[in-house]
Amino acid sequence: MSRAAIRYAKAVLSLATEQNSAEAVNNDMKLVTETISASDDLNHMIQNPVVRSSDKKAVLTKVFKNANDATYKLIDTLIENNRLAILNDVAVSYNNLYDQLRGSQIAKVTTAVPLTAELKTMVSAKVKELTGKDAELENIIDESIIGGFILRVGDIQYNASIANKLDKLKREFTLN
């Protein structure tokens, strides 16, 4: 993440907080990241220096027609400063800053199968134990871990996967 993206995100968060619209802008920023990652055409258009700024603005205004005023001001500012290419990074930074402000966090949980309600409860309890905070769970499915789960919250990782346990056993047997 570039320092410029973080600075823009902080400025937008400050403006949105003053206008009591920080949550609405957070939802806009989530929509921005989802839309840009889902559409290669939109991403290429934003990144392309040959496309005129007025055309980029027109497209983004139509794509995000229900966005908050602070979101439109961000897009205008990025266009004016020839920094529209970092729009996605600014949106991601904003979401992270907003979560920090609220005291919440996102926990990435890798499992071999989709999380069940029981496993969600267990993982949420582990997150609370490790960090002292609640977290929104994001489930990533990776069959190579065989079973169990790998939990990643910020810079903390907790590996309770079967593949990890088998790997530890393998290392113990080869050392002896």
> Are 54 and 127 members of one domain?
no
Whether pLDDT at 176 is above 80: no
**Which tens digit of pLDDT belongs to each residue from 157-166?**
888 888 888 8
Residues 91 and 14 in one domain: yes
pTM tops 0.85:
no
pLDDT reported for residue 33: 92
Closest CA to 151 of 105, 103, 89: 105
d(CA 87, CA 109): 27
Domain count, the chain: 2
Mean pLDDT of 55-61: 92
Residues 9 and 91 grouped into a single domain: yes
Distance CA 109, CA 127 (A): 10
pLDDT tens-digit readout, 94-112: 988 888 888 777 888 888 8
Which residue reads 């810079």 in tokens? 155
pLDDT at 154 over 80: no
* pLDDT tens sequence across 15-39: 999 999 999 999 999 999 999 999 9
Asked whether the beta carbons of 151 and 109 are under 8 A apart, the reply is yes
User: What is the span of the domain harbouring residue 164?
Assistant: 103-175
